């Protein structure tokens, strides 16, 4: 079983720990034992590459594989002010778009409820972070330079598809 997909804040000297750490779990243990073998900042000794790199815990970890493939800072308010300066993440396995609020410095995901521990387990409610679903395998996310809307590129069995995400029209 593959597990431990993650979102990282990459800074100079960053090391995600791969292949000794999957997500936040020490990879020397089978996946069915992973949740009881959690890595910490102190595990830097496992992955420090002669002191040239520093292990950093992920900002978010999915226990089940989703295959995150695209991430985009949304610097537009064309979907509404509530999404300005958030990040959007696409996945190749489920065809979901995830949306995350960020702190003012854009260095930390603001996660609440069952996601406050920065781990998405199999039973966690992801309704608060799923922005859209059913896209097929997402390969890229971009912002239109002319219109400021979100564009999603997917790869389906035979061809790719480009989706333009626009706000819902208000119905009176």
Number of domains the chain contains: 2
**170 lies in some domain:** no
The pTM of this model reads 0.82
pLDDT of residue 133: 93
Computed over every residue of the chain, the mean pLDDT equals: 81
Name residues of the chain where pLDDT drops below 70.
Answer: 1-3, 15-55, 122-124, 169-172
Please report which helix (H) or strand (E) contains residue 130, including its range: strand 130-132
Residue with tokens 């059913």: 134
pLDDT digits (tens, 9 = 90+) for 26-74: 666 666 666 666 666 555 545 555 666 666 778 888 888 899 999 999 9
Q: Are residues 72 and 150 in the same domain?
A: yes
Answer whether 14's CB lies under 8 Å from 55's CB: no
Q: Are residues 28 and 82 in the same domain?
A: no
Domain that holds residue 121: 66-165
Last residue of a domain, one of 59, 81, 98: 59
pLDDT of residue 159: 83
Find, among 20, 53, 54, 52, the residue nearest to 39 by Cα: 20
Q: Are residues 25 and 44 in the same domain?
A: yes
Q: How is 56-111 classified by DSSP, letter by letter?
A: ---SEEEEE---EEEEEEE---TT-GGGTTEEEEEETTT--EEEE-B-TTS-SB--
Strand partners, 164: 151
């Amino acid at each position: 079983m593959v597990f431990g997909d993650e979102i990282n804040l990459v800074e100079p000297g960053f090391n995600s720990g791969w292949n000794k750490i999957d997500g936040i779990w020490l990879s020397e243990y089978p996946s069915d034992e992973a949740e009881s073998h959690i890595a910490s900042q102190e595990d830097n000794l496992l992955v420090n590459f002669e002191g040239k790199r520093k292990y950093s815990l992920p900002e978010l970890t999915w226990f089940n594989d989703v295959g995150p493939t695209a991430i985009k800072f949304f610097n537009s308010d064309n979907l509404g002010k509530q999404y300005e300066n958030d990040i959007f993440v696409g996945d190749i396995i489920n065809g979901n778009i995830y949306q995350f609020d960020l702190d003012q410095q854009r260095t930390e995901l603001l996660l609440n409820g069952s996601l406050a521990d920065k781990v998405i387990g199999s039973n966690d409610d992801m309704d608060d972070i799923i922005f859209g679903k059913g896209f097929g395998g997402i390969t890229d996310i971009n912002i239109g330079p002319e219109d400021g809307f979100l564009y999603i590129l997917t790869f389906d069995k035979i061809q790719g598809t480009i989706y333009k995400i626009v706000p819902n029209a208000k119905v009176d």
